[in-house]
Amino acid sequence: MQGVLIDLDGVIYENGQMIPGADKVIRWLQAQHLPFLFLTNTTSVCRQALVARLAGMGIIVTEQQILTPIVAAARWIERFCPGPVALFLPQASQVDLRLEPGQILAPDCIEDAACVVVGDLAEAWDFSVMNRAFRLLMSDAQPAFLGLGMSRYWRNEGALQLDAGPFIQALEYATGRDAWQLGKPVDDFFLAGARMLGSEPGQTLMVGDDMFSDIQGAQQAGMQTLLVRTGKFRMLDMERSTRPDGVLDSIAELPQWFTL
Ligand SMILES: [Mg+2]
């Protein structure tokens, strides 16, 4: 294996608590000089906050070792979208878009966006917020529609919770438009991660707790996959047609898997 892509939520931590042994596994990867990258659909906080959260668990990495849909969106906007951007993203994560203040559309504006960016607003979603996104997308300006991460749900404080995917898909249904998706399970996102590691897709391993976003997505990108039985994992996942290359009780078992 030339590189390892690792999901964060449900694999490294859950409810802000490290999954036991995750820190040792990261130190093991570092000692093996095996390149790794955290590949997460998290759009609720910025990379700097993720680095600090991991450091609090004894996992020392840099922002460059974390790829999120917002980082992919920043590259996309820089290349294709010089005009005003309407953000449906928490304030805490917007910094990773590296926009100038004048590039962000005013929060009450429902026209003249060049791009509408939809991520994980969680509790901040309500009818008027959804309806503003809808109106912007339907406006004559025909703004680009970026969907950041099609994850369906995640596990928070012991219960399943809606992720960004269902909201993006609701807007797709209402507008009859397809979002330009950035993040898992889109294969380009996995391939971008592998490129950052200098790893061939077939020699890259994805470790995740989501059968759809992590496992199916990575397989479509030609990668090997490991499902962990932590986070959002449910026994029902094992009855799906998608088959990971291996199943671990938790990421703590990763070094053993390598020696099999
Ligand atoms: Mg996860």
Kindly list the domain boundaries of the chain, sorted by start residue. 3-68+184-259, 75-182
Stretches where the chain sits below pLDDT 50 are none
Report the C-alpha gap between 148 and 132 in whole angstroms. Answer: 17
Burial of 39 (0-12, 13-18, 19+ CB in 10 A): buried
Report the C-alpha gap between 72 and 127 in whole angstroms. Answer: 28
User: What confidence score (pLDDT) does residue 234 get?
Assistant: 85
User: What confidence score (pLDDT) does residue 82 get?
Assistant: 82
Report the C-alpha gap between 236 and 132 in whole angstroms. Answer: 37
Dist. CA 127 → ligand 1 center (Å)? 27
What is the gyration radius of the CA atoms in the chain, in angstroms?
18
User: What confidence score (pLDDT) does residue 5 get?
Assistant: 98
User: What confidence score (pLDDT) does residue 98 get?
Assistant: 94
Dist. CA 174 → ligand 1 center (Å)? 28
Dist. CA 154 → ligand 1 center (Å)? 7
Report the C-alpha gap between 229 and 165 in whole angstroms. Answer: 22
Residue pointed to by tokens 């979002």 = 179
- Judge if 3-68+184-259 and 75-182 fold alike in CATH terms: yes
Dist. CA 84 → ligand 1 center (Å)? 32
Task: Tokens for 89, please give them.
Answer: 């993203």
Report the C-alpha gap between 69 and 66 in whole angstroms. Answer: 10
Dist. CA 144 → ligand 1 center (Å)? 27
Dist. CA 135 → ligand 1 center (Å)? 31
CATH superfamily of 3-68+184-259: HAD superfamily/HAD-like (3.40.50.1000)
191-224 burial by CB neighbour count: b if 16+ within 10 A, else e? bbbbebbebebeebbbbbbbbbbbbbbbbebebb
Dist. CA 211 → ligand 1 center (Å)? 9
Dist. CA 212 → ligand 1 center (Å)? 10
Q: Which residues pair with 226 in a beta bridge?
A: 207, 246
Residues 12/19, Cβ–Cβ less than 8 Å? yes
Which H or E run contains 31? helix 22-31
Report the C-alpha gap between 223 and 76 in whole angstroms. Answer: 24
User: What confidence score (pLDDT) does residue 238 get?
Assistant: 82
The mean pLDDT of the chain is: 95
- Give me the amino acid identity at 250: S
CATH superfamily of 75-182: HAD superfamily/HAD-like (3.40.50.1000)
pTM of the entire structure?
0.92
